Amino acid sequence: LDVSPDRNLFAEGIRPTDPWLASGLWSEESAAVHKIAREELLRDGLPVAEVAAELTVRRAGKRVVSDAADVDGAWLSTLYRAVGSDAPFVLEDFHAFAWQLAARMGRRPDLAYVNSELEAQIRFPMIHRAGADARCLAEMLRLIAGCP
């Protein structure tokens, strides 16, 4: 179980494709939620092919969890469709995974989840940015698993 908050962290902006911009997949509302300006992504974001390739390599053979698997899964599909393929992995629900992990560790899942969430939020506040939020979720799993 890789639960280090910084291990294998890959959090890069993705340069929106012209079809994403034209169809409204990328919007000003999204920019406001994520606090990333369109101009910033167009200037500094990585091309979709580079991000898809990096994700494929980094996540090969691993379980991948998300605290918003439905929304993130839709974006993952959109990313891979933009490069002409299907996502090579499926996002699993973080909450169910954390709950099951707590049970496997012999802990009360409800208490383990809430306590780890509170402590992780203090160490790594979630700010609706992929890297920061991933650190917080990884810290929750680390705490639930009892890793030092």
Q: What is the pLDDT of residues 48-64, one digit of tens each?
A: 999 999 999 988 888 89
Alpha-carbon gap, residue 89 to 31, rounded angstroms = 26
| Exposure letters 72-101 (e unless 16+ CB within 10 A, then b) | bbebbebbbebeeeebebebeebbebbbeb
Q: What is the DSSP letter of 45?
A: P
What is the reported pLDDT for 59? Answer: 86
How much is the pLDDT for 7? 61
| Of 122, 70, 74, 111, the residue nearest 94 (C-alpha) | 70
Show Cβ contacts of residue 84 under 8 Å, excluding neighbours closer than 6 positions.
none
Condensed to tens digits (0 to 9), the pLDDT of residues 76-135 reads 999 999 999 999 999 999 999 999 999 999 999 999 999 999 999 999 988 877 788 888
Task: Say if residues 146 and 105 touch (Cβ distance below 8 Å).
Answer: yes
Structure confidence at residue 8 (pLDDT): 65
Q: Would you state the pLDDT for residue 25?
A: 84
Please state, in angstroms and rounded to a whole number, the distance separating the CA atoms of residues 33 and 78: 19
Quick count: other Cβ atoms within 10 Å of Cβ 30?
15
- How far apart (Å, rounded) are the C-alpha atoms in residues 129 and 33? 9
- Nearest one of 52, 60, 55 to 83, comparing CA atoms: 52
